Amino acid sequence: MIPTLEWTDKGVNFLDQTKLPLEETYVLATTYQDVATVIRDMIVRGAPAIGVSAGMGMALAVQKSPATTVDALLKDVDEAAAVLAATRPTAVNLFWGIERIRTLVRKLAASQPADRSDADKLKAITDEVIAEANRMYDEDIAACKTMGQFGADLLPKKGTVLTHCNAGALATCGYGSALGVIRAAVERGHVIDVLADETRPFLQGARLTAWELMKDNIPTSVLCDNMSGALMRQGRIQAVIVGADRIAANGDVANKIGTYTVAVLAKEHGIPFYVAAPWATVDMATKHGDDIPIEQRNAYEVTHSNGKQMTPDGVGIENPAFDVTPAKYVTGIITERGVLYPPYDDTMLAMQAEVNAA
């Protein structure tokens, strides 16, 4: 399995996704500030991977805190949460990962026996938090595998599947969400060719999706972002599957910029458009996709390619990193708890009730 990120005795080790596919190098984050940089600079990216990285960053904050009392530790943890939360605004998994550890730390702090020494309390909290961060990692891989089982038969027995961005092993702790569903279908004997949109400007499709699917010998071709409409019109695409960065309570989906265009084209051509995402990507507190914050990234990503300037000096630049696909374009949402179908207002609420009851 591709080692996207890993907790080690020395810190959190990240496969540097900015260097792929030409170099497989690692970046070791030894502090939560390092983890924040790794997330902001997209050394690690993809909503589920960002969520678990944030959880591990919080665990590093606890482990490396100079605090000598539980109260001082709580302050340090809040500070780390604020720094990590300021890295990337769109993927709700980031905030899920931070809050999962922060809530645990508070609970553990409140439940320490009064007769324990401060040092013993801090050690007990640290051990539990590191174990929790590693559980988040294991759960993410398990969720991807389960999504694969739920989604595999939604893909054609034989045909071409288009994907946008990278929702694969590299965007999760392993196996992938959208690419996990493709992997599971292939494991079941489906004969699938993958078309990977190159995904300008960061090229997650051309660099990352192509790299990881080729490692698994899944036939893959890269196409420029403006080509899929023509291929759909020629009947060359049987299904589309993508990941998500945040799903609103009405089923609107924020994902990598360009997803909306693909979804509208798919509907026009009668092609099913699936979203695969763990439940941690669902944000029931956000009622409508228009309320999802969209990250605006640096103009340099658009003006330059591989360090070479592509646009005239001084030209205006747009670089929204994500867009919102209204629920009406989404055929189904594959989660580790099952597949949701429209009307999403109702089906998402029902699944949330199941989650609350579990």
- Return residues touching ligand MRU (CB under 6 A): 45-48, 91, 165, 167, 171-172, 177, 204, 242-245, 255-256, 321
Q: Which one-letter amino acid corresponds to residue 62? A: V
Smallest gap from Cβ 290 to ligand MRU, in A, equals: 18
Find out whether 158 is annotated in a ligand binding site.
Answer: no
Residue 204 assigned ligand-binding role: yes
Phi, psi for 228 (deg, rounded to 5):
-65, -30
Is 46 annotated as a binding-site member? Answer: yes
Rg (CA), the chain: 21
Tokens of 210: 């192509």
Instruction: Report DSSP letters for 288-354, one per residue.
Output: SGGGS--PBPPTHHHHEETTEE-S-TT-----BSEEEE-GGG-SEEEETTEEE-S-HHHHHHHHHHH
Q: Among all residues, whose Cβ is closest to ligand MRU?
A: 243
Q: Which is nearer to ligand MRU, 76 or 301 (CB)?
A: 301
Contact 44, 93 (CB under 8 A): no
Residue 45 or 200: which CB sits closer to ligand MRU? 45
3-class secondary structure, 204: helix
d(CA 201, CA 304): 9
Strand order across the beta sheet in which 246-248 lies? 282-283, 246-248, 253-256, 322-325
Q: Would you call 260 helix, strand, or coil by DSSP?
A: helix
Q: Which of 245, 252, 283, 323 is catalytic?
A: 245
Q: Report whether 47 belongs to an annotated binding site.
A: yes
The residue among 167 and 192 lying less far from ligand MRU, judged by its C-beta, is 167
**Which amino acid, residue 284?**
M
CB closer to ligand MRU, 46 vs 251: 46
CA–CA gap between residue 15 and residue 212 (Å, rounded)? 13
Judged by beta carbon, residue 15 or residue 105, the one nearer ligand MRU is 15
Q: How far is CA 246 from CA 240, 276, 317, in A?
A: 18, 11, 25
What's the count of helices (H) and strands (E) in the chain, helices before strands?
Answer: 11, 16
149 marked ligand binding residue: no
In sequence order, what E strands does 138-268 have? 158-163, 191-197, 220-223, 239-242, 246-248, 253-256
- DSSP label at residue 116: S
Compute the least distance from the CB of residue 119 to ligand MRU, in Å.
39
Judge whether 245 counts as a catalytic residue. Answer: yes
Cα–Cα distance, 131 to 127 (Å, whole number): 6
Q: How far is the CB of 321 from ligand MRU (least distance, A)?
A: 5
Nearer to ligand MRU, 91 or 249 (CB): 91
Give me the active site residues, please. 245
Q: Report the binding-site residues for substrate.
A: 45-47, 88, 204, 255-256
